[in-house]
Every structure is written in C-alpha cells, then in structure tokens.
Amino acid sequence: MAARWSSENVVVEFRDAQATAMSVDCLGSHAVLSGRRFLYMVNLEAPSEPQRKIGRQSKWDVGTVQWNRHRSESHIFAASSNQRVDLYSWRNGNGDVHTSLQGHTRVISDLDWSWFEPEVLVTSSVDTYIYIWDTRDARKPTVALSAVAGASQVKWNRKNQYLLASSHDGDVRIWDKRKSNTAVEYMAAHLSKIHGLDWHPDNEFILATSSQDNSVRFWDYRQPRKYLNILSCQVPVWKARYTPFPNGLVTVMVPQLRRENSLLLWSTLDLNSPVHAFVGHDDVVLEFQWRPQKEGSKDYQLVTWSRDQTLRIWRVDPQLQKLCSSDGVEDLLESLAIDSPKSLTYQEPEGHHRVGPAADHLQDLDSVLGSGLPQTLQQEFSLVNLQIRNVNVEMDAVNCSCVVSAHFGSHQVHLVVKFPAQYPNNAAPTFQFVPPTTIPSAMKTKIQKILTDTSLQKVKRNQNCLEPCVRQLVSCLESDMMQEDGPASGAFILSNPVTPALQAFPRVTNTYGSYQDANIPFPRTSGARFCGTGCLVYFTRPITMHRSAPPTEPTPRSLSALSAYHSGVLTPMKMRSDSQNTLRLYSSSPTRADKDTVSISSFYYKERKPPMSASRRWSVQTLHDWPKSRRFKTKREGTDYSNRPIKLAGKVIIQDISCLLPVHKVLGENYVLNMNDIQDTCQKNAAAALAVGRRDVAKVWALASAATCQDLSPDSDPDTETPWARHPFGRHLLETLLDHYSHISDVQTLAMLCSVFRAQAPPPDGYPPYGLQPSRSTIVPPQRSRYPSFTSSSVTSGSCSSTSDSVTMTTWNMGRESDHNNPWGESSPDDYRYGNQGYPDPRDREREQHDMNKRLLDPTNMLQFDDFKKCYGEILYRWGLREKRADVLKFASCAPEPHKGIEFGVYCCHCRSQARGTQCAVCKHLTFQCAICHVAVRGSSNFCLSCGHGGHTSHMMDWFRRQDECPAGCGCHCLLQSTF
Amino acid sequence: QVSVINTVDTSHEDMIHDAQMDYYGTRLATCSSDRTVKIFDVRNGGQILVADLRGHEGPVWQVAWAHPMFGNILASCSYDRKVIVWKEENGSWDKMYEYTGHESSVNSVCWGPYDFGLILACGSSDGAISLLTFTGDQQWDVKKINNAHTIGCNAVSWGPAVVPGSLIDQPTGQKPNYVKRFVSGGCDNLVKLWKEEDGQWKEDQKLEAHSDWVRDVGWAPSIGLPTSTIASCSQDGRVFIWTCDDPAGNTWTAKLLHKFNDVVWHVSWSITGNILAVSGGDNKVNTSSSPGAEPSTEASPSSACVFCR
C-alpha cells in the first residue's frame, strides 16, 4: 500500500514528439527524447523552453537511447535504430551523428555505456549476439558474446568493469568480457520474459530483475539457484531500478486493463507494500531515469517520460528517501494519519507547461487512494491458494470482505469475513456465520474463537491471514465430522467404491507453490509411449480443453508459469497497437476465468465454461468438487456448468502398432526349429513367412534351405575341397542377409537365421566353441565385427586365395586392414608367434582353421548372434511363447547363468565336514545314507527340511504313503513340517 | 494396419501425466494431477480397475513397471518429492518402499535392465539423481548423484545391458560383465551419460546440442547390434538422435531428427528400436520428413508423431 502520493514537480508536454525513448545525461542538464522524426533536446534546468531538435531520417523508431556516463564524453549519446547504433554528439545547441556502429543482423534490444571506460558501449540484439564496442573503432565490435538466445536487456556491472548481465527470455546470464566464449553464470531467474534488469549501485554481486511473471526478484549471482528476495506484484513488471539513495527501488508495471500508470517506490527492506507512488501520468510510463544530484542538494529528481507525451520531473526529498531505509516503515505508519491530507494537496509546480485540471488529478488521486488499501487485499486474494475440497471462497475486494462456504457431510457453513481498513497491519478481520449455516451454535463459538486466534497471530506480524483461517476452519470441521458424522462422510466413499475417501490421506497444503517451482518442468499433458511388444499407449487432453495461451506462444517450460498465465501476456509494446476494444475482449475471454484454480488444468480452458461476467468478484473453487453441490448452482450465476462436471482427464488409448514392427507374433508362434531336419524346418518357416505376407523372409528361408542342403555339407578333410562357406553364396551371402535385417531391426529373422545355421553346423569341438580351450580365448583379438558394415573380418589375405575374385574390392581391402589382428592370417608375424606357441603341429592348425572355414556363420561374430537370440527370446517371452523362447536360446553359445537359488549342502555322514554333492571332498566317502535302506544315496533323493532325514526318493515315497512320521524315528512329522 | 484396440476411461479427476503398460501388455498404469495412480487390467479390450493407489500428496508425474521377474512392481514419482514403489502381493497393491530423499519434485523414474536386479533411477528438480537398489529383505541401497544437472534433472533412461566394447570375445560360460549405464537430461540443456565404475557413479559423457531444457531422453533398446542410440527432446522443439559406434562409448554423434514448433516432452522407442514416438505440447503435427527418418504415422489427433527408420 502506498501511503503517500506525490504529484510531479514539473510537467512538460511535447505534443508531437512521439518519442519512444528518453535519456538524461550525466551532468543532469539535458534529456534527450527520441521520436521517429526528431530527437528533442530538453534543457532540464528550463524544460519549458522551446526545445532543440535533431532531425533524423529513418523508418525505424529509436529503440534505446543513452547518454555517455562520463563527464569527459558527456556530449555523446547513443541511439539504437533497428540493427544500427548511431552515436550523436551534442555541442553548442547542435547535434549530429558522428559514428554509426553496424554489426547486428537483427533489431537491437538494448545498449549500455560502460561505467568505467568512456569509449565502451555494449549492445544486445535479437540476433543472439552481444557486442562490446570501442567507439574509437566503429568498424567492428571488440568483443562478441554469443548467447544462443536473443537478449532483451544488457547492463554493465557498476562496480566491476569486466562484468555485465544480459537477460534472455526468463534467464539471466552474467558475462565477463575477458571470457567471451561462455557466460560466467547462468540463472533461470523467471518463468516468463524478463523486461528489466538492474545492477545494485553499490554491491557488485546483486541485481534485480523484473518480469512478465508478476515479480521482481533480487539475486546474488554467486547463488544463481535461489533468489535473495522477491517482490510479488499482481501484474507483470516492466522495469525495476534501484534508486541512487540506499534501499530504494522504483517499479513500473506493464499496464493492465485497469490503468496503473503510477511509478511505485519500494523499500528493498520491506517488500510488502510500496512506500510511495508517483501519480500523474495518464498513459504508460515508457522510461524513467534519475537525474544526477546537484552539488549541495539533498533532493533527488526522477525524470519520467510517458506515452501521454509528457515529461515529468519528480522531487524525492530526504524524508521520502528515509522511508526506504530501515526505520521507514514505522515512520510511514506514524505519518499515515497525519500526512494523508497533506499529500493530497496539489503543489503548483513552477514553470510547468501544462497543468491538467486540478479536479482530474484529485480524482486520480482519489482512485488511487481508494484502491490503495484493497491493493494488498486484492493481492492477497489473487495469490491465496484455496484449492480445498468442498470449500468455496468468494472474494470481494471492493467491499473488503469475502464469503467462505463449505459443506461437510450434512453440514453447511457460511462464513462472512470482513477486513478492516488497516488490515493486515495489526487489524484482524471479523468472522460471522450467516444462514444457511447448519452447525450447532456451540461449535460456531468454538470455531469463531479459533479463527480469531489464528488471524490475530498473523496480523500482529502484519501478515495476511485469510488462507490460514480457511484452512483452520476446514480442519476444525473435518475433525468434527469424523467424530460425530461418520455416515455422512460415508457418502463420499460411496462415490468411488473402489477407493477410500481422499480425506483419509494427508492433504497438501500447497498444491503448487508457484514461485518456488521455477525449476520444475511444466507437466506433460499428453504423451505417447510404446509398451509391451506391439502397443502404443497414448493419452491426451480432453477434446474440450484448449490451451488458454494463443497457439503461437510456446508451451511454458516450467510449472510456475501457471501463475504467470493468470494475468495475461501483454507488454506495453504490444498494447500500443492494440485498440481498447480488443483489450477488453481479451481480458474477458474464458482464458482468464478460472484464474484461481491452481492446477495444471488452469493452463487450459474448458469449452463449456461460459465467460465470466466482468465483475470484480474473485472466486475460488475446486473444479472437480464432488459431489457437485446444489449451492453452486445458485451461487454461480445460475449456469448449469457447475453441476455438469468437466472432464479434466482425457482417455488413454491403446493402439496396436505391431504392423509397424519388423517382428510378428504369428511368426513367433509358427516358426519351428527342428535340429534333426533342417531342410524341413526351413520349408515350414518359409511357408509361415508367406502366410503373414513376408515374401522377403520366405525367400530367405528358401535360400537357407538351399544353403543347408546335405550336398553342400562340408567334408571333414581340409584337403578335399573348399567348403561351401567359402563360396560367395556361402558365408558372404548370409552376412549380407544378416546385414540387411539388422538395418531394418528385424531381430526375429536375425535370430532364426542364426539359430538355423548354428544348428546346421554345430561347433566341431562340441559345446561351447572356445570354452574348452582357455589358451585360445586369450589370443582371440577384438574383431571388427560390427553390423551394419561390409567388413567380413574372416576374409583374410591368407585364406582367401581361392575366393578372392568373388569378393568385392572394398571387402578385400578391409579384410587386409584387419589382417594383423587375425590369428588365422598367415602374413602376420604375430600369428606366427602365437601359432607356433599354440599349435606345434601345423596340421592341427590347419584342421582348426578348416573347422572355422566350413561354418556358414562367421565364428568371430558368435557373441553378436547370441545377442540376437537373447533379444528375440525376450520378445518371445513378452508374447508368452516360453517354449519357443527356450527353443531359440538352446542355440546360444553362451551357457545360461548358473543356478543362483537356494542350494542344499550336506554334512558328510562319516567325517561331518561340509560337502556339496554326493561325495565328500575330505574323506572321499559318499556323503549320505538313505534313512530306510542305509545305503549311500547317489541318485534322486528327498529330505525333510525340518529334521534333515531322508533318502532315496522311491523309498521315501513308499514310506510316506503309509506313514507321516520320519522313518529315522526322530519323531518329526515330516509331512506336516515340510511344506515342499 | 494400425488400429485402436482399447480406449480406457481412467476417470481421473485431473489431468493425466503418464500412462504405461506392463511387460506383457496386460495392465495399464496411469498417474494424474489428482495425486493417484491407477492400474487397469486391459486384457482383451476390457478395462477393469485393479487398484487405485493413493499415497502421493501432489501430482504424480511418471510411473514405471519393473521387470516381472521381480513380481508385479510399479514405481511412481511425484511433485511431493517422493518416489513410491508399489508391489502387488496376493492380489492387493501396497507400498513396498517410499523414498523421500529428494528436496524437490521428482520428475522421472526408470527401472534398470533386469540383469542388474531391481534398480531404479530417479531424477529430481533438486538437480540430483538417485539410484535405489533393492538388496533383499526390505532393504534398499541408495546412491545419490548430487548436482547431476544444474537447476534440475527432468528425465532418466537406462541403457540396455550390454558388454562394454561389445562383442570382444570373452570367456564363455561366465556371466557377462555388464556395465550399468543410463542417460539423463536436465535444465542445463545437457544430456549426460552416467556409468558405474567400482560401485561409484561417474559422469561418462556430456552431450550438448539443445538450446533449452531437455525434457526427455530415451535410450533405444538393443537388438544385439553394437551401435548405441539415444533420443533426446527439449523445450526448444528439437529432437536429436545420438548414436555411438565406438565400442568404448566415447564418440557420440548427434543428428537432428526434427524441429517442432513447440516443446517436445516425450520420446519413446519401440521394442526393436527402429520406431520412435515423439509427443509434445504442440497441437500441430508437422509431417515434413527429415533426412533418414520421416514421421510415418500420426498416432494421435493432437500431439504425437511416430518416426520410423
């Protein structure tokens, strides 16, 4: 609440200026106003004097204008115009452009002169670059900072000559100009666009940001994750700048429907309410700057320029400055009563060009005075989070009251809360129950007392109390209903018979803590996910829900945007072109209707909901209230909306997309793997593939059938003939096929082919191929065995002699490359070495190689083939085809994992040492005896887990068919004891 | 032919944030802003509400089914900073474990490949990633990677269990020496790869390409090929496909799959890893094709897009 208001000391109107920017020079003598056709030079000592003009010819408005900050260069100012910065010099009443800085490729958003070096200027642009210029060399920027995102603001640090800050949408980056490749610090400062950025005048580390998300935040950039403080406003904040005197901050809001064209002065020590309002401008304030203090003067002057085409100068006297310091708040409270009338008196400023009709101003002031108080109440109303089941709060800021209606079970409660004028400054609201409240009077008294206590606690500390009070009320009612009104709450349970009532669970006090959620991503409201083997599950928003933001605007990235979306998205720039009409239409659109239902769904609006009437009423209710009470019908403007629940959850749709997959369940079912008759297997599989329309796979099976033909089976003698595998249509063909199916991810065909060809040529050494020869595994080098690729690593120079003509040149070359890796390549010296060590007899070696050569599947890729089988096995498992899975996995070369479950060990019956298996490792006797025949057991046995006695399975079965006690005579009821 | 086989009316009271079917495709779990998780039996086109899991105190963002070899287990994560692991025993669903070690909303949960046992990765807005390992007997081992992503972690996804430097021959019969790897995406616009070495989680790779928050990452399932593939999507509307042919896993190359006009917040791979479903906040589905991949199906009227390769 602004306790004092002042009018401007000086008002000057420039009727045709159409200026978009303004700047005050460092001497405090001149202000420049930049219009499209002229730059106006205003002598601040005598502002009403006929102003001087500098003509300019450009179709672009001036974006930003700023005087040089150094006395030595005080005649220089820079003005940005689209992609260019013009440097003007102003001497003896004449000014002209002396330099232009060109480099940006898109419009320049901001510029700032250095506080330390008179020649240094920084510019930011939408083109994502930030350039630092030395004005003595205008050809190109001295430093270019690449930010990836376009910048809206750029500001030099006032204490550190190297540091600067830039804002990019909702982020702030801190740069060191000596380190241009990347930002020093990165802060996700706001959820929406940052309009203003200002460094602290005295502290190197602190800066303030103002944003579309209705807040000003204060940051220490050394702690980028958490703001130091926040000033929450009801409307987006256009600019927030520190005052030249301590602890002050001036803000200008983005004008909303209700014209709020005042500048507010805040104390940074107490952000609850502004300490001062500068009231007077009739339109948007476009720029405000502090005029440097004259020597000997204790006053500061604020120069403002507005779209109402007036330049105003406001005096800020020491008393006002003091309000911003620590004890200002008390002063303010004291002076409140005394000062109010005085502040209303309108001071006739000297030498002003135009004075609006005094009545006008008084009215203005009145309206501000009137809204001054509800301002905080309204703020509270808008920020309060009362998403509570069965509770409806209607707030009426104009009359400083609200009605809380709640119903629990059979009881209804209507409570009127009235807020006194001083609220919340040590003035508690009053609570009164009104009909049709149905709770007993004893309880009314009890609740009233609790509420009064709660509110007093809060207002003593000048804090808002509405939300705590309502929550207290609810918890009181709830605990009471639990005790005495069981059946009534049972009604809730009936509504959803499967589930317990929500009441049974702890309630979230704050569903969305809005401002703290800046780093939580905006939730998904639709999505698609592949599940199982051939399903696509997707969920969407209900068709009736649309995004409330215009479609051109991207979905916000963070959850806290929900709060920002409540108050529209207009900036002053946009407003200029918008007519009144569209503005009103926009604000009354359903978009903003349910601004207080804080849930993800508030980002979307519901079609069926009628637009709210433009009343000043704020209503909070949970949309998914159950049961829809009759009360709402009467209260909510008689619409039938409230008794027809809006579906907030869309349907979940499951689609069968198995046709898009390269694997087929039907094939999985019909494929066979008969090791004994591979020809037959191939033919059957070909038929199965044809049946599902996979002609390509059918042909592959035909080829497989041919390749596995008995006539082509390799001879065991390496000298008789080259095995079929070495033929181009042998291994090479198979590799090409595998390569093709890896490309299309057809793991089914891959796994089946690998299985069939492995079955066709089982490893000669038995199973597994290398496992029995540990010495071999150490010399098998890493193979270049990557699919998809045309390398066949087994094609080596040495062994290829008979087939090289059929292998393409590339393959040949790549084969050579891998030569020295290949133990079978004769040319490699390594191979000789290893070969000589491993195989003293060259014939053994030859045989070994022949075994490799005669296999159609490249033995070096075995592990990969195993992976295909495992992966396909997994898919078969998902299809529920477990036998088929076992069939395929039989062909994997890797043994399955050893059993890891419970294993029973035994104590040897001779030496009592622990043993595994049937023979004791210590005494070499057989470890245990049958309890019935007393002969050592080697084969199948059964034991009682309770007493440990047992023996041959057949004996045990016989015994327990007739008995239920242990045959050893220990008295154990084995059948009852052991559950196995 | 792509066909709708079931339409489930979840009767959630607020918006749904995730829906996922179990391993066999017989059950559907959904979670919503109404703070509940629901499980439906969706066999044969039916929809029977099996369970309505209440325990979260805020909107539930994501659910994840564990491999059925561990039983019927579902994990859920929520705005209330909790991760809850639910388990079905004798037909009724109960809390098996509740993890409250995060300081902000938990945005993503993902179970690791079954080869690693029951292990869950959780990414939170407090910037940390937690790895919860079931060690048997009601005990869970918790490892936390603090400050994995500055500002916040939005998504986690496990890599398939493959041997590093895949296909290098190794002694057979032994259990393969799998390396635990997963990928995460966060508000620092980065995609990060993590690897377990000697029981400690280490940042393995940092992939830069996105210009805004990374909203989801998906490690493609392996069908036995040595190429690793990861998809990532972001607030900036871009979907990147990262591939790595290098057995050591050090060189990843990015390919822009598509640029949408609005945020892309989910990527999902088909079981064979050749189809990617992409969904986002955009209402329009851009069907222009990009090199190597083209949207082949417009799966949902509003927000999903499927790429085949």
Model pLDDT for residues A130-178, shown as the tens digit of each residue = 899 888 888 888 888 887 788 889 999 988 888 999 998 888 989 988 8
* Angle formed at CA A595 by CA A579 and CA A196, multiple of 5 degrees: 60
How is residue A815 annotated by DSSP? H
pLDDT of B285 strictly over 70: no
pLDDT of residue A374: 39
Reduced to 3 states (helix: H, G, I; strand: E, B; else coil), residue B290 is: strand
Overall residue count recorded for chain B in this entry: 309
Least confident stretch, A12-16, A101-105, A220-224: A12-16
CB atoms within 10 A of CB B125: 28
Kindly report the CATH number that applies to the domain delimited by A384-480.
3.10.110.10
Say yes or no for a CB contact (<8 Å) between B275 and A894.
no
CB A108 within 8 A of CB A82: yes
pLDDT of B50 strictly over 80: yes
Give the C-alpha distances (Å, rounded to integers) separating A687 from A508, A839, B94.
Answer: 62, 47, 49
Kindly report the CATH number that applies to the domain delimited by A19-151.
2.130.10.10
Tell me the helix, strand and coil percentages in chain B, rounded to 5: 5, 55, 45
Q: Report the chain A residue with the minimal C-alpha distance to residue B4.
A: A655
- Mutation for B interface: A520, A770, A875, most B CBs within 10 A: A520
CA distance A702 to A684: 10
ipTM: 0.89
pLDDT-derived band at B182, boundaries 50, 70, 90: very high
pLDDT of residue A388: 67
Give the C-alpha distances (Å, rounded to integers) separating A586 from A237, A379, A596.
Answer: 19, 21, 18
CB atoms within 10 A of CB A778: 12
pLDDT of B188 strictly over 70: yes
**What residues of B are in contact with residue A535 (Cβ under 8 Å)?**
5, 21, 25
Q: Report the chain A residue with the minimal C-alpha distance to residue B278.
A: A528
Closest alpha carbon to A281 in A206, A338, A375, A354: A354
Say how many CA atoms lie within 13 Å of A269 toward its Cβ.
Answer: 12
Which of A520, A770, A878 shows the shortest C-beta gap to B152? Answer: A520
Say yes or no for a CB contact (<8 Å) between B269 and A530.
yes
CA distance B233 to B265: 6
pLDDT of A784 strictly over 80: no
Residue written as token pair 């780093």? A519
Show the tokens assigned to B297.
Answer: 């199906």
Reduced to 3 states (helix: H, G, I; strand: E, B; else coil), residue A737 is: helix
Least confident stretch, A374-378, A428-432, A506-510, B14-18: A506-510
CB A263 within 8 A of CB A240: no
Q: Prior bond to A627 cis, omega within 30?
A: yes
Model pLDDT for residues A402-419, shown as the tens digit of each residue = 888 877 777 788 888 888
pLDDT of residue A841: 65
What mean pLDDT do residues A291-315 have? 81
Say yes or no for a CB contact (<8 Å) between A867 and B223.
yes
Instruction: Tell me the residue type at A445.
Output: T
Q: Report the chain A residue with the minimal C-alpha distance to residue B106.
A: A520
CB A587 within 8 A of CB A566: no
Instruction: Tell me the residue type at A819.
Output: D
Say yes or no for a CB contact (<8 Å) between A519 and B151.
yes
Partners of A538 in the β-ladder: A528, A653
Say yes or no for a CB contact (<8 Å) between A661 and B270.
yes
pLDDT-derived band at B1, boundaries 50, 70, 90: low
| Alpha-carbon gap: B164 to the closest alpha carbon of chain A (Å) | 12
Say yes or no for a CB contact (<8 Å) between A867 and B6.
no
Average pLDDT value over all residues in chain A: 69
Say yes or no for a CB contact (<8 Å) between A540 and B303.
yes
Domain spans of chain A, in order of start: 1-16+243-324, 19-151, 384-480, 658-714+722-758+855-891, 926-979
For chain A, what is the radius of gyration of the CA atoms?
42
CB B134 within 8 A of CB B117: yes
**What residues of A are in contact with residue B278 (Cβ under 8 Å)?**
528
Say yes or no for a CB contact (<8 Å) between A526 and B300.
yes
Say yes or no for a CB contact (<8 Å) between B187 and A774.
no
CA distance B274 to B225: 12
What are the CB-based long-range contacts (under 8 Å, 24+) for A825-833?
A825/A796, A825/A797, A825/A798, A825/A799, A826/A797, A826/A798, A826/A799, A827/A797, A827/A798
Model pLDDT for residues B194-215, shown as the tens digit of each residue = 998 888 899 988 999 998 899 9
Residue written as token pair 């605007």? A553
pLDDT of residue A895: 55
Model pLDDT for residues A349-399, shown as the tens digit of each residue = 333 443 333 334 434 433 333 333 335 676 677 666 666 667 777 777 777
Closest alpha carbon to A941 in A900, A978, A904: A904
Phi and psi based region of residue A351 (left: phi greater than 0; alpha: psi -120 to 50; beta: remaining): left
Say yes or no for a CB contact (<8 Å) between A505 and B55.
yes
**What residues of B are in contact with residue A860 (Cβ under 8 Å)?**
169
CB A667 within 8 A of CB A694: yes
Structural domains present in chain B: 161-166+173-308 (2.130.10.10)
Q: Report the chain A residue with the minimal C-alpha distance to residue B53.
A: A499
Show the tokens assigned to A925.
Answer: 């006797």
Q: Report the chain B residue with the minimal C-alpha distance to residue A509.
A: B57
For A926-979, CATH number out of 3.30.1760, 3.10.450, 1.10.3470, 3.30.40 equals 3.30.40
